[in-house]
Amino acid sequence: MKKLVLLVVLFSCGFLFSQQFTWTKSFGGIKNDNGYFLKKIKNNGFFVVGVVSNSSDDIQVIKLDDNSNVEWQKNIGGSKDEGISYSKNVIVDDDGNLVMVLYSYSNDGDFLESVSSGRSIWVVKLDQQGNLLNKKRFDLPPVSYDREVYSIDSFPTGYVLTTYIDEKSYLLFTDKNCNWIDSKFYKSTTIGGTLVYNDVVAISDGFLLVGTLDFSGYKYATQIAKINFSGDVIWTSSFGNDASYYKASHIVANDDGTFAIAGNAGGTLLRPFVAKYNSLGNQMWIKVLTTNMTNDTYNGNDNLYDFMINSNNEYVTAGSARYAFSFARLNWNGDLLGRIFFKGNDDSYANSVIQLDDQSYVMVGTSKATKYLYTNTPIFNNLGPAGTSDIVMAGFNNIDFSLSTNENLGQQLKTSVYPNPVVNEVFVQSKNQNIKSYQIITEDGKLVLQNEHIRIEKINISNLKVGIYYLILKDANGSQYTHKIIKQ
């Protein structure tokens, strides 16, 4: 299956702050297609990796330049299904090459060397021009979903992979040509549970690992470990127990020796969490993100799918609450700087996020949506043979969540509001601007008030709870002006 459909649409959106989505692109075939990974290349654009489906599933790799223009795309596959199981199975190594851990059921096409039947695990390496540098089959035991490769990272002499084989958690070490060199087995701590390491990151003196302790019955704890380059354990740390749900999936290292992990917490209803640790594995803080969607009644799962550090040393999460891409930023101390949701009229999942050199962000995921609800703007038109879901990539500008009460995200000083803080009514003044509509949104993205009038000069907010809100004013020309207000 090698068919590719590409559509590009440009538009601006108006939820929370102006010009959130500055561009979108979609890729897809005739069935379900999924965008899983974004990987930044230093000074040379980024890769998108997903799975496209027509008669069978293939891996699709797309290279874009720094301006998000497509430079090339290629499909990797055979007559049967190929895929990538976990979010940490794709990296850009120190040489700028794309390295993927994938599986294949084919024994033809790009995978002639696969086993005659069943599921083979492969490491595939491409350069920035899309040339195949290496392709290596890992002859692991017969692989099912409880025998997997969960993550990969590069270090000076090769690659390290976290795996789960025959109900045991291993690290596999390879050289730069993906030749298997060594493996190490690791077990859980004294609190018990079945250990699976979900992510690994190389640091100056070894590796940091994060994983889950599975106690069955939908109960999970989190385990972290530091090991040296020989695979010897330096220390371990864990939190949660056999009655909790803390399922960590990502780990990032900070330049000062601290590190942070992220995943999903909860149980009945999942919520993203982020926790920070010192260099000895002692927890410094933990933050569970709440979900307050827009003006609907949805109160379901809120999943974290990606986690990174941005250029300001802030923590960034990407994921999905129902029908919406989600994005959040936290500062070094765990304070939530802001959270926004890009909501469509059908399921949308943000699986990966990167920050570009111009400080803007790109997210990629999977979407069935045809329009963006807050502006009723179509996201994709005339998809033709595209399937029930498509790979969706969206770019948006860096959002300043840190407005003071007299700051304006639009054109400064063209509008003002008073009093601020406010108890019951807020008054709106404008310089030659005919304010036609407004929205009031909570810090975490919930739309609580909106209205349209011939001219807006006063807004009653007496029924709102005490807290911080964003007031978005729109004039007759469509320009937006955002103010931070404090309700007392």
Count of positions (residues) in the chain = 488
**Structure tokens belonging to residue 318:** 């990407």
Residue 57 inside a domain? The answer is yes
Residue 121 inside a domain? The answer is yes
Q: Which pLDDT belongs to residue 140? A: 57
- Is the domain of 475 the same as that of 427? yes
Q: How far is CA 239 from each of CA 114, 192, 244, rounded to the nearest angstrom?
A: 40, 12, 9
- Of 334, 361, 396, which closes a domain? 396
Choice between 262 and 26, residue whose per-residue pLDDT is larger: 262
Q: Which pLDDT belongs to residue 201? A: 95
Task: Look up the CATH number of the domain holding residue 444.
Answer: 2.60.40.1930
- Is the domain of 382 the same as that of 467? no
Checking DSSP bridges between strand 315-321 and strand 336-343, what pairing results, if any?
unpaired
- Is the domain of 156 the same as that of 276? yes
Residue 329 inside a domain? The answer is yes
Share of the chain above pLDDT 90, in %: 29
Q: Give the residues across from 392 on adjacent strands.
A: 26, 365
The rounded distance, in Å, linking the Cα atoms of 303 and 324 is 11
Q: How many domains does one find in the chain?
A: 2
Give the number of other CB atoms < 10 A from CB of residue 330.
Answer: 22
Residue pair 270/285 in contact by the 8 Å Cβ criterion: no
- Range 37-48 average pLDDT: 92
- Is the domain of 376 the same as that of 430? no
Structural domain of 424: 415-487
Q: How far, rounded to the nearest angstrom, does the alpha carbon of residue 170 sit from its chain's CA centroid?
A: 26
- List the alpha helices (DSSP H) in 281-351: none
Q: Which pLDDT belongs to residue 411? A: 44
pLDDT in tens, 271-317: 899 999 999 999 999 999 876 544 333 456 788 999 999 998 999 99
- Is the domain of 105 the same as that of 233? yes
- Range 216-240 average pLDDT: 90
Q: How far is CA 176 from each of CA 173, 217, 292, 482, rounded to the nearest angstrom?
A: 10, 40, 46, 51
- Give the residue among 485, 382, 380, 390 at the shortest CA–CA distance from 440: 485
Residue 261 inside a domain? The answer is yes
Residue 135 inside a domain? The answer is yes
- Is the domain of 391 the same as that of 444? no
* pLDDT category of residue 367 using cuts at 50, 70 and 90: confident
Does 385 sit behind a cis peptide bond, omega within 30 degrees of 0 on the bond before it?
A: no
Residue with tokens 């965008």: 35
Residue 354, pLDDT > 60, answer: yes
Tell me how many degrees the CA angle 470-473-474 measures, rounded to the nearest 5: 145
Residue pair 61/74 in contact by the 8 Å Cβ criterion: yes
- Of 343, 367, 396, which closes a domain? 396
- Range 9-27 average pLDDT: 48
Q: Is 3 exposed, middle or buried (0-12, 13-18, 19+ CB in 10 A)?
A: middle
Give the number of other CB atoms < 10 A from CB of residue 322.
Answer: 19
Residue 219 inside a domain? The answer is yes
* pLDDT category of residue 443 using cuts at 50, 70 and 90: low
pLDDT in tens, 320-333: 876 678 889 999 99
- Range 338-363 average pLDDT: 84
The order of strands in the sheet holding 70-76 is 34-40, 46-53, 57-64, 70-76
Q: Which pLDDT belongs to residue 147? A: 58
Q: Which pLDDT belongs to residue 252? A: 97
- Is the domain of 285 the same as that of 144? yes
Residue pair 327/361 in contact by the 8 Å Cβ criterion: yes
Q: Cα-flanking dihedrals φ and ψ of residue 240, to 5°? A: 90, 180
- Range 29-52 average pLDDT: 85
- Give the residue among 252, 345, 384, 362 at the shortest CA–CA distance from 307: 252
Task: Look up the CATH number of the domain holding residue 128.
Answer: 2.130.10.10
Q: Is 74 exposed, middle or buried (0-12, 13-18, 19+ CB in 10 A)?
A: middle
Q: Is 307 exposed, middle or buried (0-12, 13-18, 19+ CB in 10 A)?
A: buried
- Is the domain of 238 the same as that of 363? yes
- Summary mean pLDDT of the chain: 79
- Of 364, 396, 428, which closes a domain? 396
Residue 402 inside a domain? The answer is no
* Cα four-point dihedral sign 388, 393, 397, 398: positive
- Give the residue among 58, 87, 244, 105 at the shortest CA–CA distance from 162: 87
Residue pair 461/426 in contact by the 8 Å Cβ criterion: yes
Checking DSSP bridges between strand 302-309 and strand 283-288, what pairing results, if any?
unpaired
- Is the domain of 262 the same as that of 214? yes
pLDDT in tens, 249-262: 999 999 999 999 99
- Is the domain of 341 the same as that of 422? no
Residue 381, pLDDT > 90, answer: no
The rounded distance, in Å, linking the Cα atoms of 227 and 242 is 25
- Is the domain of 101 the same as that of 226? yes
Residue pair 93/99 in contact by the 8 Å Cβ criterion: yes
Residue pair 381/371 in contact by the 8 Å Cβ criterion: no
Residue 368 inside a domain? The answer is yes
- Is the domain of 286 the same as that of 433? no
Task: Give the global pTM.
Answer: 0.76
**Structure tokens belonging to residue 107:** 């024994």
DSSP strands (E only) in 80-232: 82-83, 90-92, 98-104, 120-126, 132-138, 148-155, 158-165, 168-175, 180-186, 194-203, 206-214, 220-227
pLDDT in tens, 110-167: 766 655 557 778 889 999 999 999 888 876 554 444 557 888 899 989 999 888 877 7
Choice between 31 and 270, residue whose per-residue pLDDT is larger: 270
